[in-house]
């Protein structure tokens, strides 16, 4: 089986839709649907027909394109069942362990609540790729709107436990602003300093900073580095539980 083609579609101000196309089966799936027009136009460029949409959470900037895309392609919209009433045209509700597939590969649903209570991530182990919506961002994490910091921390840890070589696609291009915050928290992290140069070069060239990987995030993302002595010392939280270090980081980032 040949590898699916993965394409990022920038939508709205800083959202991404990710398109996955399996050449053999002809299936094309969108991860989130921020806006129908840019997705339709990208599909048109390749001559692909949308067969499905996997929604990570109910926020409008991830679902506003659902109805128009469904009307046009009659595609199946999949998303967290606990957010069913808030996701337009949802056809199939999923939860942890639901059986999904794409192009002959099984797709795991991982519940990652915190940003919203029903937020899910999608993991395709055979392709070594995961879609983390507004939970794990490159060099950051989503705001905790509906859950609490402990819940969000647990969700981030679930994602951190994926294999190191898993490619990560998230819902927004926030990497540069996340990078500035990360540097303010852990300026002595050489891997971070080097990585930020790469992020800056990509943004200066106008290209996406995604995908990232679990290994790179564990080495550079402060929200996954709550065990770091340097970070704990900077925050005055040497002996605190990891989730409290996480909560403080989230609080500081909210104010940054």
Q: What is the DSSP letter of 161?
A: T
Among 27, 42, 111, 134, binds Zn ion (CB under 5 A): 134
Per the residue annotation, which of 62, 119, 123, 195 is the catalytic one?
62
Using rule CB under 5 A, residue 134 touches Fe ion: yes
Alpha helices in the chain (DSSP H): 36-46, 60-63, 66-73, 149-160, 175-185, 190-204, 214-220, 229-235, 242-255
Rank residues 134 and 186 by Cβ distance to Fe ion and give the closer one. 134
Please choose, out of 73-81, 126-134, 156-164, 208-216, the segment that lies near Fe ion by the rule CB under 5 A: 126-134
CA atoms within 13 A on the CB side of 213: 10
- 72 in active site: no
Q: Which does 147 bind (CB under 5 to 8 A by kind): Zn ion, Fe ion, none?
A: none
Catalytically annotated residue among 21, 32, 61, 123: 61
Judge whether 115 counts as a catalytic residue: yes
Q: How many other C-beta atoms lie within 10 A of the C-beta of residue 146?
A: 17
Active site residue 62: yes
**Cβ proximity to Zn ion, 11 vs 43, nearer residue:** 11
Minimum distance of Zn ion from residue 116's CB (angstroms): 7
Residue 134 a catalytic site member = yes
* Catalytic hit among 21, 119, 172, 195: 172
Task: Pick one of 27, 32, 42, 61: the residue that binds Fe ion (CB under 5 A).
Answer: 61
111 or 134, CB closer to Fe ion?
134
Give CA–CA dist 43/13, Å, rounded. 20
136/160 Cα distance (integer angstroms) = 9
Contact 109, 97 (CB under 8 A): yes
Pairing, β 136-137 against β 140-141: antiparallel
Q: CB-hemisphere CA count at 13 Å for 138?
A: 24
Which of 21, 58, 59, 225 is the binder for Zn ion (CB under 5 A)? 59
Site string for Zn ion, 91-130 (x = CB under 5 A): ----------------------------------------
Binding mask 154-173 for Fe ion (x = CB under 5 A): -----------------x--
Please state the separation of Cα 115 from the chain's center in Å. 11
Which residues lie below 8 Å from residue 161, measured CB to CB, with a gap of 6+? none
Instruction: Kindly state the number of chain residues that form the binding site for Fe ion, as judged by CB under 5 A.
Output: 3
Print burial letters for 72-87: b (CB count within 10 Å at least 16), e (below 16): ebebbbbbbbbbeebb
- Residues within the interface to Fe ion (CB under 5 A): 61, 134, 171
Any idea which residues carry the catalytic annotation? 57, 59, 61-62, 115, 134, 172
């Amino acid at each position: 089986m040949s590898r699916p083609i993965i394409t990022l579609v920038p939508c709205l101000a800083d959202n991404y839709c990710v398109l996955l196309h399996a050449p053999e089966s002809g299936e094309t799936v969108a991860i989130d649907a921020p806006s129908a027009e840019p997705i339709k136009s990208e599909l048109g460029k390749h001559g692909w027909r949308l067969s499905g949409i996997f929604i990570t959470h109910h926020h409008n900037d991830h679902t506003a394109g659902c109805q128009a895309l469904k009307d046009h392609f009659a595609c199946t919209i999949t998303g967290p069942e606990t957010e069913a009433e808030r996701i337009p045209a949802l056809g199939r509700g999923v939860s942890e362990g639901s059986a999904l597939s794409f192009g002959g590969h099984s797709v795991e649903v991982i519940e990652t609540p915190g940003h919203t209570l029903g937020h899910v991530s999608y993991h395709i182990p055979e392709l070594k790729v995961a879609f983390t919506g507004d939970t794990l961002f490159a060099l950051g994490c989503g705001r905790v709107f509906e859950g609490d910091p402990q819940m969000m921390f647990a969700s981030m840890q679930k994602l951190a436990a994926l294999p190191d070589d898993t490619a990560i696609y998230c819902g927004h291009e926030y990497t540069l602003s996340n990078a500035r915050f990360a540097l303010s928290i852990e300026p002595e992290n050489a891997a971070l300093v080097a990585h930020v140069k790469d992020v800056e070069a990509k943004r200066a060239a106008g290209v996406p900073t995604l995908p990232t990987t679990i290994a790179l995030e564990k080495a550079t993302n402060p929200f996954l580095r709550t065990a770091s002595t340097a970070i704990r010392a900077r925050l005055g939280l040497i002996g605190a539980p990891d989730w409290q270090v996480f909560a403080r980081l989230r609080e500081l980032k909210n104010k940054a």
